[in-house]
Structure formats: structure tokens, C-alpha cells
Amino acid sequence: MDRVLSGMQPSGPLHLGNLIGALSNWVRIQDKYECYFFVADWHALTTGYGNPSQIRDYTIDLLMNFLSAGLDPEKSTIFIQSQVPEHAELHIFLSMITPLGWLERVPTYKEKKEQIKDKDLDTYGFLGYPVLQTADIIIYRAKYVPVGIDQVPHLEISREIARRFNYLYGNDFFPEPEALLTEFPKVPGTDGRKMSKSYGNAIYLSDDEKTVTEKLRTMVTDPARKRKTDKGNPQVCPVFDLQKIFSTEDERQEITKGCTTATIGCLDCKAILIKHVINLMKPIWEKRQHLIDNPSVLLDIALEGSKKAKKVAGETLIKMKELIGWIS
């Protein structure tokens, strides 16, 4: 089986957008590929270096959500980045050969610096994020990284760094990671913008049923529809964008007809959505509660996964050092 690797930063609680956009896809592909999924806690330090203890708390929550959403430690290797120090060692070697200009032209580098104004991001860790990301991927010699089409340029720098290493040392030692293109539907938040913890518009997997229901009931709709008697346009309604993800085709047709003729109100539409979202999240809540009640299960899985990852990463490092003639 071809090897796949991906990770998530523990920079906040996981929300519905993360579940639909990435985590659900991980669950689907774990039967088809040899999968390595990790909590990228070192990456979270690039912007969260001021409060490392919070990253630890989010790491536990992220692991809990990995398992609650359906990742299976019998099928996938689930681990914590910082428990495999080989990532950092390879990062050092790669940082010595990566041109500065490559890092400065990464699209997200300038974007995040412009968006995040309350933190000093003029640090090497923030600039060098792609180098550590490359180490994360190629230390397992992963063939694929699941990404959406808009993220392909971000993966290209990892391919360039792997290619430069192979060129400098005269060997195709590291495979250039390929994009495993997957559909990442845009998941709107309660205010209509893309769901994000930084916007305060997210539905979290840790929210209870009452909270989820209230958030969806008060979600923004078609701004032109102020009363039930006003005819609406589902194509400009964020709630209907969620209906496209969660509801059936028959339900969407019924909603479209009722909205455009003003025979159903927004709360009627939202009731259908709430039903589907609650049904999706109920088994996740049950698994989360089981892990909260049995924390040792979570820690054991992370420990075993990290041991397995460390073994594979260590073997790669040994062979790499032999190739370049490094003796340590």
C-alpha cells in the first residue's frame, strides 16, 4: 500500500469545518493506504509560542477528536509530532540546503503575517515552517499528502526541497510527495464566512447538542429575507450551503421550492439541517465521552503510534546519513 501522511495543528478546538474538510476524508482513505496521521504540536508553536501549555491541552483534544471521528489505530499510525524528535533532526539538515528566497515566497507566509497582527511573526520558526513540514512528510518517504486543489502550491515547496536534496547528494533518496487531491467543500460558519475558530463562528466537536442547536438556529441566512412571507434565494444563503453538504437531494429540492415561494420559513429550513448535524455528531460525542472517562486509552494509543513512527523515521535518518557521509 502507498503511504500517506497528514497532520493538524493543535491551535484550537476542532470544528465542523475541520471534520468535513479533512478528518472525514482521512477516515475514508485509511482502508486504502498506509496512513500516518499526526498532531503537529511543534507547528502550533510558530504562532502559539507565547502559551505552550495551551498547545498541550489542544493536543489532547485533537487526539480525542481523531479517534472520535473514526481514525482507527489498528489501521492508521496516530502520533504526536514532538514525540518523534527525528522530525527536528531532519529539519536541521534540510534547513541547511533550503534557499531563503524559497521560504519568503510561500503564499501563506505573507498572508498570515498580514492577517495575524497581535503576534510577532518575524521569527525563524514561522519563516521555516515549510522546512519542518517537508521533514514531516519525507522522513516517512510518504508518496501522498491529501490536499485540496488550492493547497497544491503549498506542497510544491516540499517537492522542491526533496528534489534539491536528491540533486545535491546524487541520489533519488527522498520521493517527491504528490498531492492526493480530495474534495474539500467550503463549510460556512454561523456568520456566513468560512468556518474558523479565529472568526468565532465555528461549531465545535466539543459543543453539546443544545449549543449546536442554538448556533444553527441563529445562523445568518439570505439577508434579503427578513420575514417568512418574503421570498428567498437559497443560492445566497449560508444555511443552504450547509444543506448541500448534509441534506438529501429531495430535501434540498423541497427547501428550494419552499424558500423561493415563501411557503417555509428559515427556521423550518434550519430544523432539517439541525437534524442532520446532530445525527452526525452524536456518535462522535459518545466516543469523546468514553475517552474522557478513560484517558489512559488515549495516551496509550498516542504512545504506541509515536513508537511506530519513531522507528520508521529513525531508519530513514540512518540511511540518509549513510548516503551523505555524515557520522554522528
Query: Are the C-beta atoms of residues 216 and 243 closer than 8 Å to each other?
Result: no
Q: How far is CA 176 from CA 148, 157, 166, 281, in A?
A: 18, 10, 10, 37
pLDDT of residue 124: 92
Fold of 207-288: Tyrosyl-Transfer RNA Synthetase (1.10.240)
Dig out the grid coordinates for 293 from the structure: 472517562
| pLDDT average, residue stretch 142-152 | 88
Residue 116 scores a pLDDT above 80? no
Domain borders along the chain are 3-187+295-324, 207-288
pLDDT in tens, 271-323: 999 999 999 999 999 999 999 999 999 999 999 999 999 999 999 999 999 99
Active-site residues, by number, are 112, 194, 197
User: Quick one: average pLDDT of 100-128?
Assistant: 83
DSSP letter at 4 equals E
Residue 197 is predicted with a pLDDT of 83
Q: Looking at the predicted structure, is the pLDDT value of residue 169 above 80?
A: yes
CATH architecture of 3-187+295-324: 3-Layer(aba) Sandwich (3.40)
Amino acid 245 reads I
Does the pLDDT of residue 37 top 90, yes or no?
yes
What is the predicted pLDDT for the residue at 122?
87
| CA angle (130 as vertex; 126, 136 as ends), nearest 5 | 115
The identity of residue 80, as a single letter, is: I
**Cα separation, 166 vs 162, whole angstroms:** 6
**End-to-end alpha carbon distance in the chain:** 33
Beta strands in the chain (DSSP E): 3-8, 34-39, 76-80, 144-147, 178-181
Distance CA 256, CA 243 (A): 10
* Res 152: pLDDT: 86
Q: Residue 117: what pLDDT?
A: 72
Q: Which residues on neighbouring strands pair with residue 77, listed in sequence order?
A: 36
Nearest to 293 by CA among 304, 302, 285: 285
Do 3-187+295-324 and 207-288 come out as alike in CATH topology? no
Q: Which residues pair with 180 in a beta bridge?
A: 146
Cβ(110)–Cβ(102) below 8 Å = no
Beta-carbon contacts of 74 under 8 Å, excluding residues fewer than 6 positions away, are none
